[in-house]
Amino acid sequence: MWRKTADTKNPSQSSNVPEPVTTTPKAGQNSPAPATPASPSPIAQTYTPTPAPVSTQNSGASYSSPATAGNPFASAPRASSVSVIGAGLKIQGEITGDSDLVVEGEAHGRIRMVNGRVTVAASGHVNADIEAVEISVEGLVQGGLKASDRVRLGPSSRVQGSVMTPRIAIEDGARLRGKVEMIRAGEVPAPAPKISTPVTKVSTAPAVTTPVTPTGAANANANAAKAVDAVTPAIATEADQLKSTAARGSGD
Amino acid sequence: MSWTAKSRYGPPGTVTTAAKPGPKTSVEAGGNIRVSNGLKEFLWLTTEESKQGRLLDLGAVFQSTVMFFIERGFRLSTEDMMRSWKEFLTSEEETMRKMQVGSEGARVSQGMLAGKFLDTNLQYPEDSFHGVLAWDLFDYLDAELLPRVMERLYTILRPGGAVLALFHSKTPERFNRYKIVDGQNIELIPSPTLAVHSRIFQNREILDIFGKFRSSKTFVGRDQVREAIFLK
């Protein structure tokens, strides 16, 4: 079972700091300290954010959302790296890459993870179209979802936009405002150009400005990086959200 | 067809363990499942219109409902209107609280609220859908919003499109959402109350609110629920 280990949180950090997440605590384990798996285990994966403002990519850790744990629809953990848009971080622009992406903060623009899984956590707010192999939503998404494998809408999810996927799992309590279209597996997304992911993991207080460190094709990722200029949570009001996305669920 | 006429399929009712003669009882066990002849008729109508018809579900989204239609080739859009309306009202109340007493914006009528709500909801192009599943939504809408919603539904339905609506003949004991089990059965899902049951419509009143539509069929259930099908 997925849960956050609150005991491991450093009291000097702000409340927006992502806490270490243990997907499967080991039985009989008394120490609350986050454990870094020494060897790859099919059961327990631990995600441990680094204390630095910008964490490195390809840490090898896997992220398991709360709802994927114990969910028969959930796929096996991927071995790819995970990029996290932490709570309190707001990104505008296009995010592309091959790794998995977890959105705990805000993302506006477009998300395209051709070979990865996108997870919108309960605290996540995405105002963008998302394309990925798998998309799991627990938070708010205002935009279309295109998955070449599957889409999962968790009980606390709110999606305003169309869903295109070969397989869909909708849990009771999920909200979907838009159309659902089933497509053949692998039909979308189309192959993407080789661009690495500039998404960073931020685990510091919201007042810190976090630069994005493009890797690889820096120019191509300029759009994704330029908007990471502030970490002030700018949560729109409910009315604003509805206004801005009124037309998303309409038409073909 | 008479509004009070019993369905030829027999009255729908909640699940009973004892099998009764005829196709009128659900055999599904362990759930609050009722036979829905209205759904059966709705499917027949929308399928006849187009094999790949577009449907709009105004209730809560459920996996089984989505898959039911997708597997039959329908294209489905969902919009939980009841919850949207509740959240809209909550948001408006919050806005009003922050306003100064006597300010211009503090004077809001029900009609203004209804109009504002529909500015951001039920926004679809004209003639978009072959069918709309309204469930018992209309029982919960206030007098200002209801006619506007009916007007909007008429606009977004294609000619010949069908609306399936449920009307309670007595105040329901609890608030339910509706999930499609199969082509003739729906499951009632008890849910936290999103809205107070507004009123009980008489048959003539139902005809009036669907004034622009053509009346099609009505099925009266043993559980005091009338299932009505109207065509554009």
Q: Is residue A155 part of a domain?
A: yes
Pick from A169, A237, A246: CB nearest B120? A246
Report CB contact under 8 Å: A170, B62: yes
ipTM over 0.90: no
The span from the CA of A63 to the CA of A120, in Å, is 11
Q: Which residues of chain B make contact with A182, given a CB cutoff of 8 A?
A: 70
> In this complex, is the C-beta atom of A242 within 8 Å of any C-beta atom belonging to chain B?
yes
Q: Which residues of chain A make contact with B80, given a CB cutoff of 8 A?
A: 175, 177
Report CB contact under 8 Å: B125, A251: yes
The span from the CA of A146 to the CA of A143, in Å, is 10
Mind listing the pLDDT tens digit for each residue in B87-100?
999 998 888 888 77
Backbone angles phi, psi at B65, to 5 degrees: -65, -45
Q: Which residues of chain A make contact with B54, given a CB cutoff of 8 A?
A: 179
Question: Residue written as tokens 């579900």?
Answer: B57
Give the residue from B142, B83, B69 showing the smallest Cα distance to A238.
B83
Q: Is residue A101 part of a domain?
A: yes
Q: Are strands A90-97 and A106-120 parallel, antiparallel or unpaired?
A: parallel
Mean predicted confidence (pLDDT) in A33-53: 37
- The string of DSSP letters for B24-67 reads TS----SS-EEE-HHHHHHHHHHHHH-TT-EEEE-S---HHHHH
Give the residue from A173, A85, A96, A165 showing the smallest Cα distance to A125.
A85
Burial of A201-224, coded b for 16+ CB within 10 Å and e otherwise, reads bbbbebeeebebebeeeeebbebb
> In this complex, is the C-beta atom of A247 within 8 Å of any C-beta atom belonging to chain B?
yes
The span from the CA of A49 to the CA of A29, in Å, is 21
Residue B111's pLDDT is 86
Task: Name the DSSP class of B108.
Answer: -
Residues facing residue A118 across a β-bridge: A101, A135
Q: What is the chain B residue with the closest CA to A248?
A: B123
The span from the CA of A152 to the CA of A176, in Å, is 11
Mind listing the pLDDT tens digit for each residue in B216-229?
788 888 888 899 99
Q: Is residue A186 part of a domain?
A: yes
Question: Residue written as tokens 């306003």?
Answer: B99
Give the residue from B183, B228, B185, B194 showing the smallest Cα distance to B80.
B194
Both tokens of A76, joined, read 């096996």
The span from the CA of B74 to the CA of B61, in Å, is 15
Q: What is the chain B residue with the closest CA to A167?
A: B67
- Domains of chain B, each with CATH number or no CATH: 33-97+109-231 (3.40.50.150)
Q: Which residues of chain B make contact with A152, given a CB cutoff of 8 A?
A: none
Tell the burial category of A112 from Cβ atoms under 10 Å away from its Cβ (0-12, 13-18, 19+): buried
Q: How far is B75 from chain A (nearest CA, A)?
A: 6
Q: How far is B52 from chain A (nearest CA, A)?
A: 12
Q: Which residues of chain A make contact with B84, given a CB cutoff of 8 A?
A: 177, 242
Q: CB–CB of A130/A114 below 8 Å?
A: no
Range picked from A35-39, A65-69, B135-139 for highest mean pLDDT: B135-139
Domain count, chain A: 1
> In this complex, is the C-beta atom of B9 within 8 Å of any C-beta atom belonging to chain A?
no
List all residues 6 or more positions away from B103 whose beta carbon is below 8 Å from its beta carbon: none
Residue B100's pLDDT is 72
Report CB contact under 8 Å: A237, B124: no
Q: How far is B19 from chain A (nearest CA, A)?
A: 30
Q: Which residues of chain A make contact with B77, given a CB cutoff of 8 A?
A: 178-180, 249
Residue A199's pLDDT is 46
Q: What residues 151-210 of chain B have any CB closer than 8 A to a CB of chain A? A: 189
Alpha carbon A33 to its chain centroid, in Å, reads 24
Q: CB–CB of A104/A126 below 8 Å?
A: no
Rounded to 10 degrees, what is the CA torsion of B27, B32, B34, B40? -100
Mean pLDDT of all residues belonging to chain B: 82
Of residues B154 and A214, the one with the higher pLDDT is B154
The span from the CA of B196 to the CA of B175, in Å, is 8
Backbone angles phi, psi at A56, to 5 degrees: -80, 160
Q: How far is A240 from chain B (nearest CA, A)?
A: 10
Mutate to test the interface with A, among B77, B92, B133 (most CBs of A within 10 A): B77
Report CB contact under 8 Å: A172, B189: yes
DSSP strands (E only) in B45-193: 54-57, 75-78, 129-135, 157-168, 176-182, 185-190
Q: Which residues of chain B make contact with A243, given a CB cutoff of 8 A?
A: 119-120
Q: Is residue A16 part of a domain?
A: no
Q: How far is A138 from chain B (nearest CA, A)?
A: 15
A-B CB pairs within 8 A amount to 68
Confidence tier at A81 by pLDDT (50, 70, 90): confident
Mind listing the pLDDT tens digit for each residue in B48-72?
655 668 999 999 999 999 999 988 8
Instruction: Give the CA radius of gyration of chain A.
Output: 17
Range of the domain at A150: 79-226
Mind listing the pLDDT tens digit for each residue in A187-198?
654 444 444 444
Residue B48's pLDDT is 61
